[in-house]
Structures are given as C-alpha cells and as structure tokens.
C-alpha cells in the first residue's frame, strides 16, 4: 500500500494550498481528485467555441492576490506560471434611468462620480476609505486567523490597544448589521447603496439580512484601495501554478481517481480507498476539501458515537442557487449608460435595494425570480488572450435562484425541472441584460448555460448550485462554520481534517482555510 504523511481529498485551491505548504515543510503529500482536471470551481475551459476561454465559476482572484498564502509563495508561484491582470476599473452598477456608478482605483474619479448623485456621499465615501485604511490590518488579520485562536485574540487585543473600545463596539455592530442598516447610516443616495449592496448577493445576503454588511464594505473599499485582479489567460492560472509548485516540492496530484471511502483504523483516519480499489495510506492526516455533507454522508462509515455531529452536519444549509451563462461575443456590450462601462471588470445589474430584496424573497420561496440579479464579467476588457482577435467573452452569473423550483414569479415559465427550464430562464436573464445594453444578443456567437443542477454535476461540492459551499448567515459563520465546536478544521475522527469554503473563513479564492490548516498541522 502506498502511503504519504498527508492525503488531501479534492484538488480545489484550498486543498492545493494545504498540500503546497505541508510539502514545503517536509511532509510527503498526495492530492486525490475525482475529476480529470484540478481546480474545483476555479477552472477555465473553451465552453462555447474554440479559442474562447471561459472561467467556469470563479473569475475574481483579488482574494487570492491579497492572501497570506500568496504572500508566502509569490515568487515560486510566479515561477510556475502564475499571471495576474489588474483591473483599475473594478465594478459598476447600472440603474433603471440609464445611468451608472462605478468604482475605480482613482479616488478622484470614483468620488466625482458619486458627487454627481450626492456631494455628501462623495465625502462619506472618502471618510469610509480613510477608516478602511486603518481598519484593514485588523479586519484582515481576524479573517486570516483560525477561529477561535490565540492569533485571533491577539488581533483583537492589538486593535483595542490601537483604536480603543469604541472601535471594537463599532466593528461588532458592523459584523452584525444588515447591508441596508450599515449603508443607511452612512449614505443618502439610493444609487450608492445599491452599488455597494450588490456585493451582498455574491454571498447570500439580501439588503435586510443580518450579518451582511461586512462583504459589501470590504469589497467596495478593497476595490477602491487596491483594485481587482483576474487571471491572465483564465482563473485557472492559480491552479496550474499551485499544482506545478506542489509537484516541484515532491507532492503528487492524482487526477481522475474518485475517493470511495475514508479508511478509519482505531478511531483515526488512516487513508482513503479509491473507486478503483486502491488504498492510499495517510500516516499523519487525511484532509478533506470536499463538502462536509459529502464527507460525513458518503465517504465515512456511520458511527453511533458521531450521531450528534453528523446530525448537525446534515442540517448545514446551502446558500441560494446560481446559474452561469458563458457567452462567446462578437464585441463587448454597448451599455446604454455609457461607453466607459466597457472598461469595468464587473457590471452589476441589480439596480435598487427593493429589487434585491424581491429576488431573494422569491428564490427563497422556490420561485424563479421575475428579475434576477446579474453579475456581468467582462474579462476580455482586461485580458485579450482569452478570445480570438476582435472577439470577447462574457461571464454572466445569475443570482439568486431556487434549487427546487415551485413556480415562476412572473408566471411565464411552466416547468419545475431545471433541465427543462434552464434555457428559457437564461433567455430571461439575457433579456434583462439587453434592456441595459441593447444589441447584446445580436453579438452572441455561442453560449453555454449551467443551471444550479448543472453546477452540482460539474462539482459535487456545489450542492444545489450553491457556489458558497454553505450559507454565510451568522449561525453558520465565524465560530459556527461548519458547526459550533469544529471551526478549527478538526473533526470527531482523529487525524481527519476539513478545509474549503464550508469552513472558516468561508467562500472566495483566498485559500485561507487550506493555508491556516496546513500551518496548524506543520506547527508554522
């Protein structure tokens, strides 16, 4: 039987980050991936026509570029081909009256655009950015620490020493606040509020959901301060670089080898059994980058001593579903709000808080939303290598959607099976895009549509098309992710550990859980 110090289940970026760091600390490591290619939700493929490279799910690599993992391995990753493309025009929102508001790294440009709607809000934006400058080390320090841990406690202690009790109270209020409450307290313009609140829908936070203020705040201010990053040639640049680095460090990546079961001996994880019958031993750790429901519902034999824990994992809620629409284009959309929108990496089509609240309520009720929120990615505005000369790709994420369809909020789509209705619903999304960018549909050369069910078929971790690997509402975040008492990556099975978006600090491309777990296992 072949054996390693650590066996990692799943070649998503968190699993790869854990493997790279352990290998760098002298551990022998094998990453076992059921699919024929690594990356999980971070993949780039020719999904429509030859020469058009589409990011399957994740496109924004800003969290990776700002991560402690990248800081630790930057030079080696670049040496293995990692390429990042900065976006100085980061994100924008379009509104019903034909106007738009965008955020670029030029503060004067952003503040000037805001001032056209509200001079007071332009000054409020400047104040919030100034606060972010001093808050960011503490906030990101907390997000980059295991939860709970002495490292997290030291971050809080340092923040208290530098900024006082008032700042801690204000930060705690912000962590608990809804997007609407946070934004109402700081801005007057509904357009500024919609611009920022759209980020909440990237997770599962409608405007009035408690705990949803943090992500809009961090994304808005981080984009203003640092810009956005996408991958040169595709988001898979980080996966190619990480697998290359892992192999250079002596690690192995076994593709097309699904794990059938985690082997347990004397109450401890001892390795994995593959679908082809092979057993790979793990002398020190089995690390699962699979969704906890898959690990404890499929890959582990039942154990009465684990009943309470397994029951809690079984109740771990998914976030809303997502649809991905990938378009090969003859040109970028001609945005009605202005030609300048062609420069932005993201354009949100979520024009007001009322619409965001409505789409969330409809989806949670099992209805196909009448007016879904769209995140329109324009990667070829920044990286021309992703499409043939003069052509483009569009990355359209449709949020927020039900997993099980009970009906259609607009009453025009009769089916309740995603395989039957996905093309009709994609047409609805593109009709909405057409109202803001007339002529877009005429520029489409090819399209590929992935419903929430399709996303799960492509990646079993995306249960019900949930690209978050679990809701980020307060009862499933921080100390409670994935369940209370197990937020530090351990499980009730000795030597078996979790990482990935279902664990702290949650979804995104920051590789936080994989890197933090590996540092804990390696002792540094």
CA-CA distances (angstroms) from residue 291 to 138, 319, 462, 466? 29, 13, 8, 11
- The angle at the Cα of 329, spanning 327 to 332, to the nearest 5 degrees, equals 110
Residue 382 has pLDDT above 90, yes or no: yes
DSSP line for 240-262: HHHHHHHHHTT-EEE-S--EEEE
Average pLDDT, the chain: 97
Buried b (16+ CB within 10 A) or exposed e, 254-264: beebebbebbb
Question: Is the torsion defined by CA of 408, 410, 411, 413 positive or negative?
Answer: negative
Domain boundaries, the chain: 2-40+67-84+234-316+471-522, 106-226
Task: Give the pLDDT confidence of 470-518 residue by residue, as tens digits.
Answer: 999 999 999 999 999 999 999 999 999 999 999 999 999 999 999 999 9
CA distance 445 to 180: 39
DSSP line for 106-137: -HHHHHHHHHTT-HHHHHHHHHHHHHHHHHHH
The predicted pLDDT at position 439 comes to 98
The predicted pLDDT at position 287 comes to 98
- The angle at the Cα of 350, spanning 363 to 380, to the nearest 5 degrees, equals 110
Residue 116 has pLDDT above 90, yes or no: yes
Omega before 4 cis (within 30°)?
Answer: no
Q: What is the mean pLDDT of residues 240-264?
A: 97
**Beta-bridge partner residues of 32:** 9, 254
Cβ pair 126, 111 in contact under 8 A: yes
Residue 1 has pLDDT above 90, yes or no: no
- The angle at the Cα of 286, spanning 262 to 250, to the nearest 5 degrees, equals 125
Task: Give the pLDDT confidence of 162-171 residue by residue, as tens digits.
Answer: 999 999 999 9
| Residue the block writes with tokens 């209805």 | 367
When pLDDT is cut at 50, 70 and 90, the band that residue 330 belongs to is very high
**For the range 42-46, what are the long-range contacts, defined as Cβ-Cβ under 8 Å and sequence gap of 24 or more?**
42/12, 42/13, 42/235, 42/236, 42/238, 42/239, 42/509, 43/235, 43/236, 43/239, 44/231, 44/233, 44/234, 44/235, 44/236, 44/237
The predicted pLDDT at position 98 comes to 97
Cβ pair 356, 399 in contact under 8 A: no
The model scores a pTM over 0.95: yes
Cβ pair 66, 512 in contact under 8 A: no
The predicted pLDDT at position 438 comes to 98
Task: Give the pLDDT confidence of 4-59 residue by residue, as tens digits.
Answer: 999 999 999 999 999 999 999 999 999 999 999 999 999 999 999 999 999 999 99
Collapsed DSSP state (helix, strand, coil) of residue 22? helix
Task: Give the pLDDT confidence of 359-368 residue by residue, as tens digits.
Answer: 999 999 999 9
CATH code of the region 2-40+67-84+234-316+471-522: 3.50.50.60
């Amino acid at each position: 039987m072949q054996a390693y110090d650590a066996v990692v289940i799943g070649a998503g970026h968190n699993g790869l980050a854990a493997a790279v760091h352990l290998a760098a600390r002298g551990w022998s490591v094998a990453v076992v991936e059921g699919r024929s290619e690594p990356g999980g939700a971070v993949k780039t493929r020719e999904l429509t026509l030859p020469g058009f490279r589409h990011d399957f799910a994740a496109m924004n690599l800003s969290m990776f570029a700002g991560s402690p993992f990248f800081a630790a391995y930057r030079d080696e990753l670049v040496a293995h081909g990692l390429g990042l493309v900065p976006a100085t025009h980061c994100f924008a929102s379009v509104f019903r009256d034909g106007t738009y508001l965008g955020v670029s790294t030029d503060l004067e440009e952003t503040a000037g655009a805001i001032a056209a709607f509200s001079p007071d809000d332009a000054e409020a934006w400047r104040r919030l950015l100034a606060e972010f400058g001093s808050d960011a080390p503490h906030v990101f320090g907390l997000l980059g620490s295991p939860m709970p841990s002495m490292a997290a406690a030291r971050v809080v202690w340092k923040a208290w020493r530098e900024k006082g009790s008032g700042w801690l109270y204000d930060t705690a209020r912000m962590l608990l606040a809804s997007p609407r409450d946070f934004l109402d307290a700081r801005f007057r313009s509904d357009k500024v509020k919609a611009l920022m609140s759209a980020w909440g829908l990237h997770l599962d936070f409608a405007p009035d959901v408690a705990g949803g203020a943090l992500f809009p705040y961090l994304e808005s201010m981080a984009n203003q301060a640092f810009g956005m990053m996408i991958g040169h040639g595709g988001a898979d640049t980080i996966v190619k670089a990480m697998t290359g680095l892992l192999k250079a460090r002596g690690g192995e990546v076994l593709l097309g080898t699904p794990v059938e079961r985690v082997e347990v001996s004397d109450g401890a994880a001892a390795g994995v059994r593959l679908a082809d019958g092979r057993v790979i031993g793990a002398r020190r750790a089995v690390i699962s980058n699979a969704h906890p429901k898959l690990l404890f519902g499929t890959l582990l034999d039942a154990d009465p001593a684990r009943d309470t824990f397994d029951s809690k994992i079984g109740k771990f809620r998914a976030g809303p579903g997502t649809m991905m629409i990938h378009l090969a284009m003859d040109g970028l959309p001609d945005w009605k709000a202005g030609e300048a929108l062609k420069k932005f990496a993201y354009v949100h089509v979520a024009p007001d808080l009322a619409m965001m609240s409505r789409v969330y309520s409809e989806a949670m009720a099992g209805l196909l939303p009448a007016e879904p929120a769209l995140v329109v990615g324009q990667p070829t505005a920044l990286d021309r290598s992703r499409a043939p000369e003069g052509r483009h790709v569009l990355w359209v994420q449709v949020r927020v959607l039900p997993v099980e369809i009970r009906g259609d909020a607009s009453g025009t789509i009769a089916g309740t099976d995603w395989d039957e209705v996905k093309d009709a619903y994609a047409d609805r999304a593109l009709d909405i895009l057409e109202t803001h960018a007339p002529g877009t549909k005429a520029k489409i050369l090819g399209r590929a549509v992935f419903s929430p069910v399709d996303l799960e078929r492509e990646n079993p971790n995306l249960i019900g098309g949930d690209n978050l690997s679990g809701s980020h509402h307060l009862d499933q975040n921080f100390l409670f992710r994935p369940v209370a008492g197990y937020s530090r990556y351990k499980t009730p099975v000795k030597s078996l550990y979790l990482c990935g978006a279902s664990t702290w600090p949650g979804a995104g491309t920051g590789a936080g859980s994989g890197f933090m777990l590996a540092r804990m296992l390696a002792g540094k």
